[in-house]
Structures are given as C-alpha cells and as structure tokens.
Amino acid sequence: MGSIALVVGTRPEIIKMAPIINEAKVRDLQIYIIHTGQHYSQEMSKQFFDSLALPSPNINLDIQSENKSVQLGEMISKLGDELKKTQPSIVLAVGDTNSVVAACLASIQNNIPFGHIEAGLRSYDNTMPEEINRKLVDSISSLLFVPSQRAITNLLYEGLDPERIYFTGNTIVDSIRLYGDNIFEQHTPKAKEILDEINEEFIICTIHRVSNVDNKQNLKEISNALSNFIQMPIIFLMHPRTEKQLNEFNLYDKLQENKKIHIYTSIDYLSILRLMKDDRCKIILTDSGGLQEEASILKKPCITIRPNTERPETVESKINFLVKVDEKEIIQILNQTLTNEDFMNKFEEFGNPYGDGYASSKILNIIEERWSNIEFKSPELYRQGSKSFFMMEMKEDKKRSVVENNFHCQVTMVYDEKGQPIPIPDVLKKGYRIRAIIK
C-alpha cells in the first residue's frame, strides 16, 4: 500500500481537496497534507480546516513572498525537501495556482508521479497566470483528473496521451454534496448573523483577481458600480488583498457610503455555502473561477467580471454572463439578470457537466488500482524512435477498437462532421476525422 501527499496553498484548494481527504480517511489510506502558505493566515486557514472537520496539515511551509517568482522558487525547493523525506507514491494538487505548479515540478524532479485534479480547464488567455499554470502542469502530469467533457477535449486537442486522462468530475461537486446538508445553524453562526442582519433578497459579491484589484482603474469601475447599485443589498465577501487595494486606492470609504453594501472579511466555507443556497440569494457577482461552477450547481445566475472564462459551458448555457470592467455595464447586466425569470429552465437544460459528486472516490479508485504502476516509464518506441501521428477520415461507421486494431494505432483526437474536436467516442462515425499515434 502506497502513500499520497496532498498539497494545498489557498482556501479554494482546501475546499476542493476536502473530499479527497475525507475519502482517504474512510479508506484508511496514508496521506500527508502539506500547506504551502500561499494564502496562509493562522485564523482563516484554521477556520477552513476546522469548519470542514479536516485534520490539520502535517506541515506548513509558510511561504508568503509577494514576489511570485521568489514564491514559486521557494515552494519548489521546500516541497522538494519534504517529498524527499516522505517519499509518497503520488502527489496530488488541485487547481491552477503557484502551489500547484510547485507541487508538480517538485514531484517530477524527484521522480514522484503527480496527479492534477481539475485538469484540462482552458480560457485560452495567456495573459492569465492561471492559464499558463494550467497548461504547464497538464503537459507534464502523470495522471490528469478531468472535471468535464469539455476539459477532456481540450487536453486531447493539445495532444496529451489519452491514457493519462480520466473523467472524474470536479471535487467541488463532492464538497457541495458532503457539506450542503451540514449548514444548519450550529455549524454556520456567521451565516445566521448575516442573514438575520439583512433579512431580504441579496446579491453575493467576491472580487479578488489580480487584473481587477491591482489595477486602480479597474477596481475603481467595480467599486463605483457597487457604490451606485441600490436596488438590492450586496453581501461583499472581501478578500484580504481586495481590502488592502481598496484602501490603498482610497476607494474603501466610498464603498461604505452605500448602506446596501455589507462587507465581511472573514467567513468559513459552510457559511458561504449556506448564503449561496439561501432562497434570498439572487445573483453571484464575482471574478472567481470556482464560484462560477458553484453558482451553476446551486442554480444561481452568475455575473463574471472577466473577458473570458475556463468554464465556457456556463456562458453558452446563459446562466453565467461575462461583463467588461465598466461601471455602467456591470449595473446594466445586474438589472437585466434580476428581471429575467427564465433561469430555472436554463438550469434544467444545463444539468451538471461537472460530475455526480463522487469525484474523490473515482480519483482514489484510479490511484489504488494503479499502485503498482504509478511510476515514470519511458515509452518503448524502438521501431519509430518517437511517436508518429497520422490523420484519417472515416468512410463508414466503425468501432474505435476495430480501427485501432486494424491500423495498429491509438486514436488521440476526433473531429466531428463540422470539424469540431470532441471527446473520443466508442464508435467513429462516417465523416469524422481522426488523429492517431502509430503503435
């Protein structure tokens, strides 16, 4: 029986890793929790671990440098030292932060397999540090645990080995399933306090993305929109960095002049979940990636202050709206969303592409089934030296297994009749074009 190192660095990562930790405890697996310290504060991190009934991290690396390059270098070095000591069978991390990149590189450099949870998400915006992180980590991970069919297509389109890709769903759905029924009053006193204080319909707002909060003009546009929106109370769950920048740009006081804005700077996950699930919550206004998913799962319309998203399914289904960083446009889309009564039909059509709430179980099943061969192994390509690809158009419907046997190949990408990349089906239809590797 092997061991698993679980690396977290931010509060969203703790939330998404929580179901893995709980499932590993049920199975009596040996786990080692490492907190990099990327978003570390004693109060808030302890609050998250306590509210989710998680064991404390085995170690906190306490890396808090503001310089991202220095931060990443220190993380790789310290994580490498820890992994040399513990020698886990595999390292897991979830998401797209510096902590995930560091965990991946430290693992690979120590010949330890790395599994990326939430692999394959793409905005195709290389100005986002998170997008660079996602692409880098996916390209070298040993196992890719994918949250949606769209994410599978993204990975295949980039030429990644299908044998490394596993559709599991997203562990955030697990978290909502596990903790969603555990938000009654004794576990969420902060949410009760907020709900008692407001006692009417409200909007939840979170803003934390660097491009929004570190840019004075962008933050001014957002804060002006919030300051001038008086139709409904706004619960502003404020990130410490956002609070710091609002004060630095002299925007905080004006925000507080709007008595409809209620600012909270420290709140546990179960309380956030209770607020989002409450019938009085009408809209999620955010620039977060994860909250777009949670809003869709909880059937709450979402307005995302970003030019693009790595959750395009939500935008295509018109339950999530991208909006420019512009005061008038933000207010306009808020008003339009509040008056739209057709969301329940849209949510029914949307379903849930992010899994059935048992991603953590599927991930650990895959790992346990592969204990004996989770290792680095050079591909045996004596005949051709390296992988050799070819493209072919299907002239008739055939099972993928038949095509692979007849051509001694592995299908790695399929394009439908319209030329759109799709997940690899069991039956390759006439008109499909396939990309395959010669075996």
Question: How many other CB atoms are found less than 10 A from the CB of residue 435?
Answer: 18
Residue 40 has pLDDT above 60, yes or no: no
Q: Given 35, 116, 187, 208, which residue is catalytic?
A: 208
Residue 295 has pLDDT above 90, yes or no: yes
What are the pLDDT digits (tens) for 46-71? 777 888 889 999 999 988 777 888 99
Report pLDDT for 184.
66
pLDDT band, residue 438 (cuts 50/70/90): confident
- Is residue 262 among the annotated active site residues? no
Report pLDDT for 370.
86
Pick the CATH number of 185-350 from 3.40.50.360, 3.40.50.2000, 1.25.60.10, 3.40.50.2300: 3.40.50.2000
Report pLDDT for 189.
85
Report pLDDT for 62.
86
Report pLDDT for 59.
92
- Low-confidence winner among 38-52, 207-221, 300-314 (lowest mean pLDDT): 38-52
Question: Both tokens of residue 96?
Answer: 């797209």
Q: Max alpha carbon distance in the chain (Å)?
A: 72
pTM score of the predicted model: 0.89
Report pLDDT for 366.
96
Residue 43 has pLDDT above 60, yes or no: no
Q: Is 250 helix (H, G, I), strand (E, B) or coil?
A: coil
Asked whether this chain's domains 3-170+356-373 and 185-350 adopt the same fold, the reply is yes
Query: Average per-residue pLDDT in the chain?
Result: 91
pLDDT band, residue 385 (cuts 50/70/90): confident
Q: So where are the chain's domains?
A: 3-170+356-373, 185-350, 389-438
Question: How many other CB atoms are found less than 10 A from the CB of residue 401?
Answer: 12
Q: Which ranges constitute the DSSP H helices of 351-426?
A: 359-369, 400-407
Fold of 3-170+356-373: Rossmann fold (3.40.50)
Task: Transcribe 148-216 into DSSP letters.
Answer: SHHHHHHHHHTT--GGGEEE---HHHHHHHHHTT--SGGG-HHHHHHHHHH-S-EEEEE---HHHHSSH
pLDDT band, residue 376 (cuts 50/70/90): low
Report pLDDT for 240.
87
What are the pLDDT digits (tens) for 158-190? 989 898 999 999 999 999 999 887 666 667 888
* DSSP-derived pairing of the beta strands 281-286 and 261-264: unpaired
